[in-house]
């Protein structure tokens, strides 16, 4: 287990290094030093600011020196750069945006995992029944629905229509930090959570159903039944644990990706998370913030995949990590 964990961490570090090389190559190598400085400074920058950036980032020196300074600032000083558009460090911009995306991602992930796995199990256990057909229809319906359409429908039904009748349970847009008001924080996240959960749960319903049906046909399941174990124990103790392996794989990818920013959902609900910030940074040509979000999103995916690999051995005793 330890050897496997070390290999996965080293592989994750290698992936992060490759991303830094690609980011550096895209944003620093292609354009000339003056163009890079002007991009980082923003479209309204003065010549003095451009010159200052060239000196701070050593853009007049060799690419090796520039890259080494880029990595050194990132790894040793945790410095993602300075946003001249916001007039503050990139880390400050991301510290304000990341809790929003994290709250949105974790809350919706818990809902869609519980909802998707539960409906998938019911659909597999009662294969061919009305519950199976209903779960299949709902999964197909929500899987086919664009995120922004569902989000706008929920806003119209539970925010606008409720407000017309004097009920103000759900705010239309915006985000309230947990430290400011836990109740308002929860209210501001309910509709975004439901939006992401319903869209994503559809995938997990189909994935859980197919995986569990396959596992229930295995020889060791028939052996467990022949020993007189109850059907509930056979399904949940032996079948579901093995069937959850592909579900966990998908869950790790989805959560890792979502932590990089739920762009559409954040735009619909006016939540200034990483996705919202990324879109605005592209429009504003705020290059340092874009680079910072790319690195944060990559780190989230890498960490999520390492955790998923470790969960394999916990869920499925047939899996051995070497």
Q: 308: helix, coil or strand? A: helix
The enclosing domain of 264 has a CATH number of 1.10.3720.10
Residue where the block lists tokens 């060791």: 220
Q: Are residues 18 and 142 in the same domain?
A: no
* Residues paired with residue 88 on neighbouring β-strands, in sequence order: 83
Residues 64 and 150 reside in one and the same domain: no
- Asked if residue 263 and residue 167 are part of one domain, the reply reads yes
Pair 75, 95 in one domain: no
Parent domain of 174 = 91-315
Domains in the chain: how many in total?
Answer: 2
Angle between helix 147-155 and 182-215 (nearest 10): 140
Sheet strands (E) in the chain: 82-83, 88-89
Structure token digits, residue 272: 């200034």
Confidence of residue 316 (pLDDT cuts 50, 70, 90): low
**How do residues 168-223 score in pLDDT, each as one tens digit?**
777 777 888 888 888 889 988 999 999 999 988 888 888 888 888 888 877 777 77
Q: Are residues 50 and 152 in the same domain?
A: no
d(CA 203, CA 114): 12
Rounded to 10 degrees, what is the CA torsion of 131, 137, 138, 143? 140
Same-domain check for residues 68 and 125: no
Element (H, E) at 152: helix 147-155
109/66 Cα distance (integer angstroms): 39
Beta bridge partners of 83: 88
Task: Select from 64, 58, 19 the least CA-distant residue to 37.
Answer: 58
- Note whether residue 85 is domain-resident: no
- Write out pLDDT tens, residues 225-238: 787 777 777 777 77
The answer to whether 158 and 170 are in contact (CB under 8 A) is yes
Lowest model confidence (mean pLDDT) among 18-27, 76-85, 92-101, 200-209: 76-85
Cα maximum dimension of the chain: 81
Residues 99 and 186 reside in one and the same domain: yes
User: How does pLDDT run across 271-305, given as a tens digit for each residue?
Assistant: 898 988 888 888 887 888 888 888 888 888 888 88
Mean pLDDT of the chain: 82
Question: What is the percent of the chain where pLDDT is above 70?
Answer: 92
188 and 69 within one domain: no
pLDDT at position 31 is 58
322 domain residue, yes or no: no
Q: Six-digit token pair at 7?
A: 């290999």
Percent of the chain with pLDDT over 90: 6
Q: What is the pTM of this model?
A: 0.81
Residue 84 in any domain: the answer is no
CA angle 212/215/219 to nearest 5° reads: 155
Of the residues 27, 49, 79, which one is the last residue of a structural domain? 79
């Amino acid at each position: 287990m330890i050897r496997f964990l070390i290999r996965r961490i080293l592989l994750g570090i290698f992936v992060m290094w490759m991303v830094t090389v690609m980011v550096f190559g895209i944003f620093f190598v292609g354009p000339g030093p003056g163009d890079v400085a002007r991009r980082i400074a923003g479209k309204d920058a003065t010549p003095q600011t451009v010159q200052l950036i060239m000196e701070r980032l050593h853009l007049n020196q060799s690419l090796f020196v520039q890259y080494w300074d880029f990595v050194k600032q990132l790894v040793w000083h945790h410095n993602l750069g300075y946003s001249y558009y916001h007039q503050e460090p990139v880390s400050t911009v991301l510290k304000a945006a990341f809790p929003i995306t994290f709250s949105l991602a974790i809350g919706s992930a818990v809902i869609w995992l519980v909802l998707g796995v539960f409906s998938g199990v019911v659909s597999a256990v009662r294969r061919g029944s009305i519950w199976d057909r209903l779960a299949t229809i709902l999964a197909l319906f929500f899987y086919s629905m664009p995120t922004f359409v569902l989000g706008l429908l929920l806003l119209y039904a539970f925010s606008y229509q409720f407000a017309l009748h004097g009920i103000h349970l759900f705010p239309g847009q915006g985000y309230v930090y947990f430290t400011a008001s836990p109740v308002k924080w929860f209210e501001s996240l309910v509709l975004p959570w439901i939006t992401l959960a319903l869209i994503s749960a559809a995938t997990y319903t189909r994935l859980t159903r197919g995986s569990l049906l396959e596992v229930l046909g295995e020889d060791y399941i028939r052996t467990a039944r022949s020993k007189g174990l109850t059907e509930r124990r056979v399904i949940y103790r032996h079948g579901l644990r093995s069937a959850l392996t592909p579900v966990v794989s998908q869950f790790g990818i989805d959560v890792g990706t979502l932590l990089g920013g739920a762009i559409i959902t954040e735009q619909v609900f006016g939540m200034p998370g990483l996705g919202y910030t990324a879109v605005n940074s592209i429009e504003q040509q705020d290059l340092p913030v874009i680079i910072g979000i790319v690195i944060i999103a990559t780190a989230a995916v890498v960490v999520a995949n390492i955790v998923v690999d470790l969960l394999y051995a916990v869920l499925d005793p047939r899996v051995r990590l070497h």
